[in-house]
Every structure is written in C-alpha cells, then in structure tokens.
Structure 1
Amino acid sequence: MRMHMHQRAVGLVAGALLLGFAGAVPAHAEGSRTTYFSGWHPGNESSRWSDNNTDGVSTSVTLSGCHTDGADGFKKANLKLWKNRDLLPDDDKGSRTNSCGRSAWGDQSSGKYYFELFSFNTGGTMSANRVVIAY
C-alpha cells in the first residue's frame, strides 16, 4: 500500500512538471522578415511592414555582419523605429543604439512600421549582411 502511494506521488509530480514545461513554450512573433542592407547612408529607411498586434512580442531589429567604409570600422549604429501615418507626420517610436546585435522597442500597437538608419560611428556608408525584423 505504501509503495502504491509513493508511485502515485511520483506520477503526480512528473505530470505537474510536464504540464509546467508544456506551458513554458516561448511566445512566437506574429511576423518576421530576414533581409540585408548595403551601402546605406544615414537617413536610409527599411521597407514597411504591417504589425496587426495579435501578440505581445516586442518589435525588434537584429543586425549581424555589420561594416562601414570608415577607417575605424563599425562600432555602433543608431536605429530609429517609425510608425507610418497617412496624411500625418510619421510617429517617432524612439532610437536605439545597436552594436551589431538586437534592438527592441517593446510591443507596438497595430500599424505600418519601418526603421531608419539614423547614424553610425564612422565612414559614409554602412552595410549589414543580415537583418532580422520581428514584430
């Protein structure tokens, strides 16, 4: 009888752990796109994307393979997220410093968005071999 209770307790704990792990599945972004840019100047903009805000995922831009034509090489870039507004000035959602990694702006309301390469540390042009936009 005592052994049966122990097996039952072990089964309950194992089941609870399994349920806990099943509930810990990471949230997936509503959408994402992978692209690149080459020879961009400060002020260049990405293409627009539509965020329907059907999830709670942070809007982010992840850069990799960054380089500039400057003698000092790439160190950092400033990216700005914009919300496109028809017949009105676009809404500035803030700037983030990016050292060839991920920049995030939090969960955004539904709408069309784009990012701007606002500035970078050296040179006249910048490139990123891979750009992942998640929203």
Structure 2
Amino acid sequence: MRKAVAVAMGGVTLLALGVTEASAEGSRTSYIAGWSRGGESNRWYDNNSDSNTTTVGFSNCYTDSSFNSATVAVFQDVSWSPDKNIATKVNYCNTTYYGRVSAGSYYFKLTDFSGGSNLSVDDVNIGW
C-alpha cells in the first residue's frame, strides 16, 4: 500500500512541476515489402506545432542478398517546384534523425541500400 501511495504521489509531484511525458505531434507505423532503389513512402503532414525532430526508424531489415545499410532521404513535397531534400542519412536498421522541419508535407525516399535489388523492412516507424 505504501508503495502504491508513493508512486501516485510521485506522479502528482511530476505533474505539479510541469513534467509531462514527451509525445510527438504525429507518427505512423508501416512496412516496406520488396522496394527497389527510388521507392517512396506515403506523405505525412507536419504542422510544426512542437519541437520534436522528424525520425525514420527501421527494424528487421533484409534484402534478397545480405543487408548492411540503407540510404534514406527525407524530402519536403513542394508544389510546382522540385522537392526539397531535408537530409540524406544512412540507416543501419535503426532510427535516423532528420531534425526539426517547417510545416509542410513530407516523405522519405529509399535512395540506396547494400546487397541485392529489393529491400524489405518489417517495421517502419515515422515520427514528426
């Protein structure tokens, strides 16, 4: 009983201090099934209503050969102009961080990967 009260009081104390659990403006979970180089994700819209960074996370990655890494670029979708490359990062089947972006529509593009001609990723987690 004392433990339960102490845990409850600790939570109240954190709320009173203004400490809250961090949460992203938005996120999406998906997968990649046999993409070749140049494959693009669906678009998402970042309102830039928080200070969270844009992330692309991969887990359980494999190719039709031997996977080591994938090169992933995040783009801002720009109407009637070339899309803006925010950053291009190497993902070793982990999470890559692209920084805080301005409000707009975004997507990621699989620009390259090691081993084989097709990449699959069981869990793709996009956060913004």
Could you say whether these structures have the same fold, taking a TM-score greater than 0.5 normalized by the shorter chain as the test?
Answer: yes
TM-score by length of 1: 0.82
CA RMSD of aligned residues (A): 1.9
Whether contact under 8 Å (1:68, 1:125) holds in the other structure is yes
Whether contact under 8 Å (2:77, 2:83) holds in the other structure is yes
TM-score by length of 2: 0.86
Whether contact under 8 Å (1:59, 1:105) holds in the other structure is yes
The 3 A distance-change label for structure 1 pair 54 and 119 is same
Give the one of 70, 83, 86 matched to 1:90: 83
Q: Which residue of 1 aligns with 2:18?
A: 23
The 3 A distance-change label for structure 1 pair 124 and 21 is farther
Work out the CA distance in 2 between the residues paired with 1:66 and 1:131: 10
Matched residue type, 1:62: G
Matched residue type, 1:89: P
| 1:1-135 to 2 correspondences below 5 Å | 18-19=13-14, 22-70=17-65, 73-135=66-128
Work out the CA distance in 2 between the residues paired with 1:41 and 1:134: 23
Matched residue type, 1:64: S
Once the 2 structures are TM-superposed, how far is the Cα of residue 27 of structure 1 from its aligned partner?
2.4
Work out the CA distance in 2 between the residues paired with 1:19 and 1:34: 30
Matched residue type, 1:92: N
User: Alignment length, in residue pairs?
Assistant: 119
Matched residue type, 1:107: R
Q: Percent identity?
A: 39
Higher helix share: 1
Which ranges in structure 2 are unaligned for 5 or more consecutive residues? 1-8
